[in-house]
Amino acid sequence: GAVVSQHPSWVICKSGTSVKIECRSLDFQATTMFWYRQFPKQSLMLMATSNEGSKATYEQGVEKDKFLINHASLTLSTLTVTSAHPEDSSFYICSARVKNGRGRARISTDTQYFGPGTRLTVL
């Protein structure tokens, strides 16, 4: 299958600092990566969509200067939470769309594959 990793899996930081979260597609190239936010006992809310080499598209209400997304390659996207505050504490999940699944068993270009998530706690 298609594996997506996230690093770190859990981070604790002080208020005012910046935190970078990495999302990697390990065994495939991703045309598009998505960043979601999930509060406790709630559903996933899409924050932004990013395509390799272009600027991310942010959902309404998401501050692009607060949540910086860089999609430098077909296997890596990063989300940087700048000047983090306690209200930014959440679970952040990325997903990726496969660029080319030809010849790959149980892998589809028609599906988003999710990373395991990153828990951010801002003190």
What residue ranges bind another protein (CB under 8 A)?
Answer: 31-32, 34, 38, 42-46, 49, 51, 91, 93, 95, 97-98, 109-114, 116-117
User: What's the sign of the alpha-carbon dihedral 74, 33, 109, 26?
Assistant: positive
By beta-carbon proximity to another protein, the closer residue of 19 and 35 is 35
Closest contact distance (angstroms) between CB of 16 and another protein is 27
Whether residue 71 contacts residue 30, with contact meaning beta carbons closer than 8 Å, is answered with no
By beta-carbon proximity to another protein, the closer residue of 50 and 78 is 50
Residues 42 and 37: their CA atoms lie apart, in Å, by: 10
Closest contact distance (angstroms) between CB of 68 and another protein is 20
Closest contact distance (angstroms) between CB of 46 and another protein is 5
By beta-carbon proximity to another protein, the closer residue of 67 and 113 is 113
Q: Which residues contact 120 (CB under 8 A, 6 or more apart)?
A: 11, 13, 19, 21, 81, 84, 88, 89, 90, 91, 92
By beta-carbon proximity to another protein, the closer residue of 43 and 102 is 43
Amino acid sitting at position 105: A
Cis-peptide into 8, omega within 30 deg: yes
Closest contact distance (angstroms) between CB of 36 and another protein is 8
